[in-house]
A = this chain, B = another copy of it.
Amino acid sequence: MFHRVLPGYSDSKSGQTGDYQMKIGYYSLDEYEKLVKSFHGSLAPGLLIGGFMVDLAQKNLPQGEFFDTICETSSCLPDAVQLLTPCSTGNGWMKVIDFGRFAISFYEKKTGEGIRVFLDLDKLKNCSEVYSWFMKLKPKREQDSNLLMNQIKEAGAEILSIRKIRIDPALFEKKKGGASAVCPVCKEAYPAGHGDKCRNCAGESPYLEVAEM
């Protein structure tokens, strides 16, 4: 199972002696919690569920093979994927599509075949606090954060479902070999395929002002 070999990372199993003996990927729950806090800023409920989602997926995929990933929401899930798999935003093996569905898919790049794991509403009947968090039924200040996290930990993979999926392998294929050009307006390099100017100078700029310092 993939795990990040982080600088100075200790392989000791000391983290596994907490309240919960369960593991998320290579990590004990304690270790995963530390990793998440360091990377994401806080142990958001979505990161905890996301950890169980990646873990469930990995248990249902052949070991030693490599899978690209799709997150169907930009909230939380991408960070669970980035911490527990080799996929990241910058290496292109993780894509985010903004459907707002709480789901992650893993697929083999050449065949497009894989699995999809999602938080299953039908399985939340015994997790009232998870249900109300997930469906946004209460403002954050009214949430019982301890109850929410405990329900998630106790449920683990039980609130998740898994499906076989197939995508068109061409869908997220990396376009290789595109030439670079120099934008006549900003003088920066950009993909020539974008047109005769870079997208920024062609009208999509997010900048109201750019000035020398």
Contacts and interface: CB of A to CB of B under 8 A. Distances in A.
Nearest to A86: B41
20 contacts: A4-B38, A4-B39, A6-B6, A6-B9, A6-B35, A8-B9, A78-B90, A79-B88, A82-B89, A82-B90, A89-B94, A105-B207, A121-B189, A134-B180, A135-B180, A136-B177, A136-B178, A163-B210, A163-B211, A164-B212
Interface of A: 4-10, 15, 31, 34-35, 38-41, 46-47, 60, 70, 72, 74-80, 82, 86, 88-92, 94, 96-103, 105, 112, 115-116, 118-119, 121-122, 134-136, 162-168, 171-172, 177-180, 182, 186-191, 194, 198-200, 204, 206-213
Contacts of A46: 90
A47 to B, nearest CB: 7
A183 B88 CA distance: 29
B210 A179 contact: no
A31 B68 CA distance: 27
Contacts of A88: 39-41, 78-79, 82
A60 B171 CA distance: 40
